[in-house]
Chain A
């Protein structure tokens, strides 16, 4: 029993250490440093040795000194088996091993003799490993997008693995792609269009949705149940089945290539979810408040503006942010409806850049950063509201 636990402990923890080191090494390789192997055998064996030492020492002396010593040992070992690597690489290794040994410092013989300790160990490491791996896999494309926009096509083709940014070249040179994207490719205009379309969609959707949601939540009328179920059904119909009829109708009415046309379609497609989300919230507002309003002689307009709206600001912000996100990111309709560059939205403009001529990739990525950054900033800043919007509206995606 005990032997098995010690064995799994050594094996799993060393594997975890190794995979952390691997991610670090990949990042180092991407700085243009030549590093062609992970040294799996040596590092893994040495990891097992160090883990066993950690176990043997246990809590016999100061834990902080123990982890620093072990981490130092590991980084010195790594320094000797790899050649010609800069000092900051080894420092990174030191920090990672410090983090690792800090995590396993409390394990000793007593812990391993407990029930299920090997499974607990396994899951602890799985969580740690999962967090590192998930962050790496998710953030890597974003990192690549950002870095590519600061480089040049020639440098990227010369060594695709060199992601290092040359800060010595000065800011104007560094942000050159952004200047070009805004100046030569007219991204300022597209950004304005996207902003107008998204904000316009938010405002019109709210103007339409708030009264409708109030009616569905509070008032009694014939066909109410039918309406509230059909909201959900309509919501499930995807854009792709609407696109051909809308295209034919809009071409004949001359609404293609116009911001108005886009606004109408975006509003109509986001309305069902906005009504659905808002009516749920309105139902949770105590009815007594409205009754008090009626006694004070308010009509429905007064009730909505003076009682419902101030109380449901959080829900309205969630809806607004969610609708903004959908409109900002929307691609299919803008692809179908817009084919003149003076009406392009950002998404459509980037697609046009990619399809059109051989656009150097740093411009493409600079454009991508321009379209991604605003929405990510809004997301991080208003996370609480947007997450509740996403949860409620995420039947669609």
Chain B
């Protein structure tokens, strides 16, 4: 009895999860695996269009002879790069007409014209002309003939499904002189973006954890940058930072803080003089990181605030009795309490910032030293049009991702053990 129940339970469970598993498998897991496949192939954007045999039908009358009519099919191979094999042609005709003569490729049977057109090389063009006559001596309606559309089919090699593989994509990715620069930019962006977001998150959470007028409103406001669409925010920032008519530059010039406008998003390096040393700072990258911090510190804030509110009040009261000052309270009570949250947060944000695409793409498009790995995927795949290269770069991302995930789950497991 119970085993029967268990069986029913099992069957129900599979029934319930199957749609989700199927969808996630086909849209997320399958693409990740096909990424590996594509990365070993030499595919370009223009190869993705499947070659199609096409025909344009023209109907012409012949020298006032109303009982006869000429049909011309303009045939062509839509692809400029690939051959189509075994092309078959099919067209329907109205009753009471038949062709006068046919070449050996075609047949006419029960109002159907069928042709075997063989193999078409790339860029192939041909005209097929057939003259029809009426069998019952009535006028042939051109309109009716035109209303039927010919159907063509053919086999073409789908470049994605061949078994030709190459290592060239990976060789190109790794041998590229800019690869080291690409990696260092990505890590620089990821690391400082993450750290910055967490630091500001802690500050904001500490503030909002105190009682003041308008506290709930403040909490909503702090989440605005995360909730609002990135497109709108990125373009607003772009206008704000614009060197000629942007608000920020004009304000700074107005207060005589800087002499001339600074192109914060378009300048790769800026030389700063700190204590007599010239320090080269990557300006555009720093600006992008500041945007990143601005947009994602709310998340860190939310996490840390939730944890802070769970810290028992007695701890602070005890510290007050002991005469601890605010800094000691923060370092010895608050920080240890939120440390676990921070480490988890750091890993998650690190993984996500590592893959962040939209923010940089919308702000700089990857120019002036802000090209990270995800931006490179887009540029290789869609700007240059080399799908294989783009895939290879995303495989590099996946490899890093797997390493980060391994560390993250180790950390998570360790934390679970401690609890």
Q: Which residues of B contact A336 (CB under 8 A)?
A: 382
Q: How far is the CB of B248 from chain A (nearest CB, A)?
A: 10
Q: Is B35 an interface residue (CB 8 A)?
A: yes
Q: Indicate if B296 sits at the interface (CB-CB under 8 A).
A: yes
A299 to B323, CA, bound (A): 63
B405 to A265, Cβ gap below 8 A? no
Are A244 and B38 neighbours in the complex by a CB distance under 8 Å?
yes
Q: Does B179 contact A (CB under 8 A)?
A: no
The reply on A396 being an interface residue by CB < 8 A is yes
B247 touches A364 (CB 8 A): no
Contact assessment for B325 and A371 in the assembled complex, using a CB-CB cutoff below 8 Å: no
**B287-308: contact bitstring with A at CB < 8 Å (1 yes, 0 no)?**
0000000101001001100100
Residues of A contacting B13 with CB < 8 Å? 215, 219-221, 224
B229 and A379: CB pair below 8 A?
Answer: no
Contact B228 A376 (CB under 8 A): yes
Instruction: Tally chain A residues at the interface, Cβ within 8 Å.
Output: 103
Q: How far is the CB of A47 from chain B (nearest CB, A)?
A: 19
Q: Which residue, B50, B212, B247, has most C-beta atoms of chain A within 10 A?
A: B247
If over half of B's interface residues share one DSSP class (helix, strand or loop), that class is named, otherwise mixed; here it is helix
Which chain B residues lie closer than 8 Å to A247 at the CB level? 381, 387
Q: A144-B240, A222-B10, A354-B235 are in contact. Are A252 and B17 (CB under 8 A)?
A: no
Q: When the two chains form their complex, are residues A351 and B31 in contact, meaning their CB atoms are under 8 A apart?
A: no
Scan B7-43; emit 1 where CB is below 8 A from any A CB, else 0: 0011011101101110110111111101100100001
User: A397 contacts B28, CB within 8 Å?
Assistant: no
Q: Is the CB of A395 within 8 A of B240?
A: no
Task: Tell me which of A77-85, A90-98, A181-189, A206-214 binds B.
Answer: A206-214
Instruction: Quote the shortest CB–CB distance from B231 to chain A (angstroms).
Output: 5
From A138, A241, A332, A369, name the one whose CB has the most chain B CB atoms within 10 angstroms: A241
Residue of A nearest to B242 (CB): A160
Known: A120-B326, A221-B9. A131 touches B158 (CB 8 A): no
- Provide the A348-373 mask, 1 if CB < 8 A to any CB of B, else 0: 00110010000001001101110110
Nearest CB in chain A: distance from B103 CB, A? 34
A138-B221, A233-B405 known; A397-B16 Cβ under 8 A:
no
Q: Contacts of A221 on B, CB cut-off 8 Å?
A: 9-10, 13-14
What's the Cα separation between A208 and B14 when bound, in Å?
13
Selected from A219, A244, A329, A372, the residue in CB contact (under 8 A) with B391 is A244
The minimal Cβ–Cβ distance linking B251 to chain A, given in whole angstroms, is: 7
- B38 and A141 contact, CB distance less than 8 A: no
CB < 8 Å neighbour of A30 from B20, B247, B358, B394: B247
Interface window among B131-139, B262-270, B348-356: B348-356
- Interface presence of B58 (CB below 8 A): no
Q: Which of A118-164 contact B (CB under 8 A)?
A: 119-120, 122-123, 127, 130-131, 134-135, 137-142, 144-145, 148, 156-157, 160-161
Q: Does B366 contact A (CB under 8 A)?
A: no
Which B residues are in CB contact (< 8 Å) with A220?
6, 9-10, 13
Binds A, one of B70-78, B117-125, B143-151, B203-211: B203-211
Contact of B225 among A120, A138, A252, A395 (CB under 8 A): A138
Query: A69 within 8 Å of B by Cβ?
Result: no
Say whether, besides A245-B35, A275-B20, A395-B348, A368 and B232 are in contact (CB < 8 Å).
yes
Interface membership of B99, Cβ < 8 A: no
A268 touching B24 in the complex, CB below 8 Å, given contacts A248-B38, A248-B160: yes
- CB pair A332 B227 closer than 8 Å: no
Binding site for A on B (CB under 8 A): 6, 9-10, 12-14, 16-17, 19-21, 23-24, 26-32, 34-35, 38, 43, 48-50, 158, 160, 203-204, 206-207, 210, 212, 218, 220-233, 235-237, 239-240, 245-247, 250-251, 254-256, 294, 296, 299, 302-303, 306, 323, 325-327, 348-349, 351-352, 355, 357-358, 362, 374, 377-378, 381-382, 387, 390-391, 394, 397-398, 401, 405
What are the 10 tightest A-B residue pairs by CB atom distance, in nearest-first order? Answer: A268-B27, A368-B232, A238-B355, A245-B31, A211-B16, A221-B13, A219-B13, A215-B16, A212-B20, A116-B325
